Amino acid sequence: MSLTLEICAGSVQSAVAAQAGGAHRIELCQSLEQGGITPSYGTIQQVLAQLTIPVFVLIRPRPGNFVYDAEELAIMAADIRQCRALGCAGVVLGVLDTAGRVDFAACQMLMEAAGPLPVTFHRAFDACPDQRQALEDIISLGCHRLLTSGGQPTAPHGQQQLAALVQQAAGRISIMPGSGVTPATLQELVRHTGAREFHASAKRLLPPPPAAKGTEFDAPRWETDATIVRELVARLEAA
């Protein structure tokens, strides 16, 4: 089985750079500096028009925790249906209950909205205290993929748990390490986890425009760098 590189892209420009660098798939979001939220209709539309690789869209209505009320779940379901209508390749989601368990009923409702679209369960998983049970719940939901750092701040720190999750999954779901996946860490993750898919942002900080005055609106901006993506692909192919 070949190895796959997914790039988390927070804009049209980042999505284009990811494809130019040789990424196999993107996860499209906005506000990456806040962990990512659902991108706008226009962003999704423009990315789909310019990319030929699969586009998975993050379904997350706000930053913060992954416990959502009925109104937020309704927004998420509507966004999923919109992704289906636009022709996205899949969606990325995750909902927890107040105890940090997978909210099975809420996730099942979102899975039904996704219909035939493949679903990735995102790093909400890393907030689950019982990851062994959470993985079984996610498999039972019918998710195709789990994005996780093994419950640690970064995937390199979570290597041992990632390997255990790959072993537990036993081919029933793809375990995709994410967070801290760089050209310097990728090959070690391949060797030590047994995972076949990897998730990175390959981002660089953009310099502020010359006329920037340092106001509250001049937040740091990060974009995917095609050169870093190419290096990740090369490391993956050499692993």
At residue 58, φ and ψ (nearest 5 deg) are -70, 130
> Does residue 25 contact residue 57 with C-beta atoms inside 8 Å?
no
Kindly report the average pLDDT of the chain as a whole number: 96
Residues 101-159 have pLDDT tens digits of: 999 999 999 999 999 999 999 999 999 999 999 999 999 999 999 999 999 999 999 99
Q: Is the dihedral of CA 136, 138, 141, 146 positive or negative?
A: negative
pLDDT of residue 1: 61
In percent, how much of the chain has pLDDT > 90? 90
DSSP string, 16-72: HHHHHTT-SEEEE-B-GGGT-BPPPHHHHHHHHHH--S-EEEE--SSSS-S---HHH
Give the C-alpha separation, 138 to 163, whole Å.
17
- The rounded average pLDDT for each run of 10 residues, N- to C-terminus, in the chain (239 residues) is 93 98 98 92 98 98 97 98 98 98 98 98 98 98 98 97 98 98 98 98 86 72 95 96
- Provide the residue count of the chain: 239
At residue 154, φ and ψ (nearest 5 deg) are -135, 160
Q: Which residues contact 202 (CB under 8 A, 6 or more apart)?
A: 7, 18, 21, 224, 225, 228, 229, 232
pTM across the whole model: 0.95
> Does residue 25 contact residue 53 with C-beta atoms inside 8 Å?
yes
